[in-house]
Amino acid sequence: MNHLDPVRHVRGESSYLDDIPVQQGTLYAAVFEAAVAHGRLRGLDLAAARAAPGVVRILTAHDVPGENQIGGIVPDEPVLAEGTVHFRGQPIALVLAHTERQAQAALHLIKADIEPLPIITDPRVAAAHNELIVPPRTFRLGDSRTAWADCTHVFEGVAESGGQEHLYIETQGAYAFPTEMGGVRIVSSTQGPTAVQRHTAHVLGIGMHQVEVDVTRLGGGFGGKEDQATPWGVLAALGAFLTRRPVKLVLDRMADMRMTGKRHPYSSDFRIGLDTDLKIVAYEVTFYQNAGAAADLSPAVLERTLFHCTNSYFIPNVTATAYSCRTNLPPNTAFRGFGGPQGMFVIESAIAKAAEELGVPASEIQRRNLLRENDLLPYRQPAEMCHAEQAWDTAADLYNLPRLREEVAEFNQQNERLKKGLSVMPICFGISFTKTPMNQSRALVHIYTDGTVGVSTGAVEMGQGVNTKIAQVAAQTLGISIDRVKVESTNTTRVANTSPSAASATADLNGKATEMACQALRERLLRHASTEYTLNYEGLEIRDEQVLAAGVPAETTWEKLVSSAYWRRVSLTENAHYATPDIHFDATIEQGYPFAYHVYGTALTVVTVDCLRGTYELDAVHIAHDFGQSMNPAVDRGQIEGGAVQGIGWMTMEELIYNEEGRLLSNSLNSYKIPDLYAAPKVLDVHFLDTPGHPRAIFRSKAVGEPPLMYGIGAYFAIRDAVRAFRSGHQPTFSAPFTPEKVLLNLYPPVSARSAAAWPSVSTSIPATTSAAS
Ligand code: MTE
Ligand code: HPA
Ligand code: MOS
């Protein structure tokens, strides 16, 4: 069973937002954005732009009929700036013109009078000014303060991780159509159709029933369209509502990079204590999250950083505090892992620090502290059906960790200029929205009279293969061929009040609802079969489109059964509601059972660093991953490979640079580098661990969307290992991404400190290049 879409994708037959045939009378929208990161908006001169060719109307905050507010968690974000601007790229006005070019041209004729205010870009500076999005939060287990006395070794440090641009292939956009009775219909490239619907209704001052949002698929989301698709949907709808004409708004690549938020950069302080057996006794960590200018999803991301601050380890005494710091950057947002990776990078840094100081391999400390069955996580949920040790040991055996270690050591002994490095990266990731009420879903299933099936859910297909999985659930539950099943677009009028497709939980939530609806339909049809054909209901089943009575083919097939049920006026439609059982969390005490289950895995990473250039290659990433009972190994393997490479990009080469004025300097694909084929590991093995899966996972097939991203953290530590093989005793600051530039600067002492003796000996002959990457 393969992913159902790729053949159509490769042929160019799949329909994205920009493929919708343009309706006559459509206006094109372009966004006028703030060119300073913080200031008082004193005036806006629109006269010249209004008179420009093709311009039909220019909208500002004054034109908003409802409330000018789109903040999801905290109401701190106007859709069009009013009074002050908080970040460079913040939308101030919307130009509507007959062509895209005319709309873009008019932008240059708008003049904004903005009185500059002080700009903060650093989260620690923001915290010092008490510029916090929400009050800080602290997770506690045991008592870290008294535990220091039990530690033989205590180490402290600072760890920094950078942001990450989502770089979905399809940029943000929406196409809005006025509907009769003053409503709007919006086609949006969003992970959260209901969020677009709710905020549009609010901004337009109409009911949600007047706003329909439809999503066929996204050209990638990666979290960047969980909340941040909303402004563009709302703006297009505002234009359509006020002009009564269709309005299309699509950001070009550079506008998208400038204007939208990204993964949160974090700056963190850690303190780790170990006993003589290298057991971690205590861990204290303080996270400073760079939230950007508005809350967006930052408080939820912050929370997940705390949930994952001990990664895959049991630590009896933990104090973890997190600050969400307001800066004058575009509001940062969800990105695959949702704050988890940032938390996990810090504990891995703390372990590396301890290992380097003690002169033991980090893996010694890591392995001894892995979670075991029923160990408590810092939020008091026990690790149940825990596969942390199994994942580690399987990876170590299967890929022969001792042999890899020897090979690296041998290579390093024989080579002066090239050094290899090795790391082991275990992961543990919780599946569920951390906000318990969001873990609900619905499915609407129609069986048509010819026996074909239409399924609608709240799931948004963004490349992750959720539509394929939902089709599998329907086909398997009904006992019919997958060719009979169509997964429909995601539409707020068919399935309402949906959570965004996020948290890796889309297939679980929407798959379970689909399964329930299909079970109800199957049961109803079999009851009908039992009366219609006088068969004993017990022992009736449908398999391969044939009705079986106690295993023997009955006189009816799926098609005949459906048709006869219709003529007997049996309903062929079902709507089901699913809410993840057993989960809860009490934020007043920061304790509970927030996750349906956890996903485990381990990656071994081997790199080669060119110590003359600072460039590097990933020789291999070997992964043992806990899929449970994978319902679609092809799709799931793709998620692991893609997630791992995306994580490698975050940790090694994707470097977002804002200057002190809050201007994005890495604003195009010239200056922001994502992994290409050469940057990907030469070998990427994915082993499916033999684990039972979890009953709260759809068909016991565990969620796979986000967990693999964190394997990429291993690349940082493997490079670090290689750097230290070249420059023995050196401890680079924990700062990701480990770009070739940073690697080079860490391979040699600074010029001022250099003496002949401090120089590692390196052959002066020009070496042969090792790869395309160099
Ligand atoms: N895979 C592809 N191809 N495209 C995407 O946008 N998003 C990731 C992950 N894998 C993404 C992806 C993120 S951030 C999440 S939360 C999950 O997919 C969402 O889908 P799921 O819940 O069905 O796993
Ligand atoms: N994960 C991903 N997205 C979310 C979450 C979460 O836990 N909570 C709200 N949006
Ligand atoms: Mo994914 S960051 O939860 O959209």
pLDDT given for residue 515 in this prediction: 99
Tell me, using a 6 A CB cutoff, whether residue 297 lines ligand 3: no
Q: Are 211 and 497 in contact (CB under 8 A)?
A: no
Q: Which of 514, 545, 579 is the last residue of a domain?
A: 579
- Compute the distance between CA of residue 412 and CA of residue 336 in angstroms, rounded to an integer: 35
CA neighbours closer than 13 Å in the CB half-sphere of residue 110? 27
pLDDT given for residue 757 in this prediction: 55
In 569-652, where do the E strands start and end?
573-579, 584-586, 591-593, 597-610, 616-625
H/E stretch holding 528 reads helix 506-532
Closest-lying ligand 3 atom to the alpha carbon of residue 338: 2
pLDDT given for residue 770 in this prediction: 44
Q: Which of 110, 74, 105 lies closest to 91, judged by CA? A: 110
CA neighbours closer than 13 Å in the CB half-sphere of residue 176? 34
Phi, psi dihedral angles at 191 (to 5 degrees): -80, -15
Q: Whose CA is nearest to atom 7 of ligand 1?
A: 222
Domain contains 467: yes
Nearest ligand to the CA of 704 is 1
Is the bond into 737 cis (omega within 30 degrees of 0)?
Answer: yes
Q: Are 184 and 211 in contact (CB under 8 A)?
A: yes
Domain contains 346: no
The residues that are catalytic are 706
Nearest ligand to the CA of 594 is 2
- Please tell me whether residue 361 adopts helix, strand or coil conformation: coil
Q: Which of 534, 559, 579 is the last residue of a domain?
A: 579
Domain contains 213: yes
Residues 6+ apart with CB under 8 A from 18: 170, 173, 250
What's the 111 CA to ligand 2 centre distance in angstroms?
39
Nearest ligand to the CA of 433 is 2
Q: Whose CA is nearest to atom 3 of ligand 2?
A: 503
Tell me, using a 6 A CB cutoff, whether residue 433 lines ligand 2: yes
For the domain that residue 457 is a member of, what is the CATH number?
A: 3.30.365.10
Domain contains 99: yes
Tell me, using a 6 A CB cutoff, whether residue 304 lines ligand 2: yes
What's the 223 CA to ligand 3 centre distance in angstroms?
4
pLDDT given for residue 430 in this prediction: 98
Beta bridge partners of 96: 29, 57
What's the 191 CA to ligand 1 centre distance in angstroms?
10
Cβ–Cβ contacts within 10 Å for residue 241, how many? 25
- Which residue intervals of 249-339 are DSSP H helices? 253-259, 298-307
Residues 6+ apart with CB under 8 A from 271: 154, 155, 156, 282, 283, 284, 285, 350
Domain contains 40: yes
Domain contains 55: yes
pLDDT given for residue 755 in this prediction: 61
- Compute the distance between CA of residue 71 and CA of residue 79 in angstroms, rounded to an integer: 9
Nearest ligand to the CA of 506 is 1
- Please tell me whether residue 585 adopts helix, strand or coil conformation: strand
Tell me, using a 6 A CB cutoff, whether residue 225 lines ligand 3: no
For the domain that residue 46 is a member of, what is the CATH number?
A: 3.90.1170.50
Q: Are 365 and 313 in contact (CB under 8 A)?
A: no
Q: Which of 220, 250, 280 is the last residue of a domain?
A: 250
Domain contains 489: yes
What's the 235 CA to ligand 3 centre distance in angstroms?
23
In 502-659, where do the E strands start and end?
540-543, 546-549, 552-557, 573-579, 584-586, 591-593, 597-610, 616-625
Q: Are 391 and 601 in contact (CB under 8 A)?
A: yes
Domain contains 269: no
- Please tell me whether residue 190 adopts helix, strand or coil conformation: coil
pLDDT given for residue 331 in this prediction: 98
Tokens linked to 514: 């689909």
What is the mean pLDDT, run by run of 10 residues, along the chain of 774 residues?
89 96 98 98 98 98 98 97 98 98 98 98 98 98 98 98 98 98 97 98 98 98 98 98 98 98 98 98 99 98 98 98 98 98 99 98 98 98 98 98 98 98 98 98 98 98 98 98 98 98 98 99 98 96 97 96 98 98 98 98 98 98 98 98 98 98 96 95 98 98 98 98 97 98 96 62 50 41
- Compute the distance between CA of residue 137 and CA of residue 402 in angstroms, rounded to an integer: 41
* pTM for the whole structure: 0.96
Q: Whose CA is nearest to atom 1 of ligand 2?
A: 503
Which domain range does residue 448 map to?
A: 440-579
Closest-lying ligand 1 atom to the alpha carbon of residue 505: 22
Q: Are 20 and 187 in contact (CB under 8 A)?
A: yes
Would you state the torsion angle of the CA atoms of residues 33, 35, 36, 40, taken in this order, to the nearest 10 degrees?
A: -60
Choice from 226, 263, 298, 598 to test ligand 2 binding pocket (greatest atom count within 8 A of CB) = 226
Choice from 264, 457, 468, 504 to test ligand 1 binding pocket (greatest atom count within 8 A of CB) = 504
What's the 505 CA to ligand 2 centre distance in angstroms?
9
Closest-lying ligand 2 atom to the alpha carbon of residue 434: 7
- Compute the distance between CA of residue 558 and CA of residue 735 in angstroms, rounded to an integer: 60
- Which residue intervals of 108-143 are DSSP H helices? 123-128
What's the 336 CA to ligand 2 centre distance in angstroms?
10
Give the pairing of strands 247-250 and 27-33. Answer: parallel
- Compute the distance between CA of residue 322 and CA of residue 301 in angstroms, rounded to an integer: 10
Q: How many domains does the chain have?
A: 2
pLDDT given for residue 310 in this prediction: 99
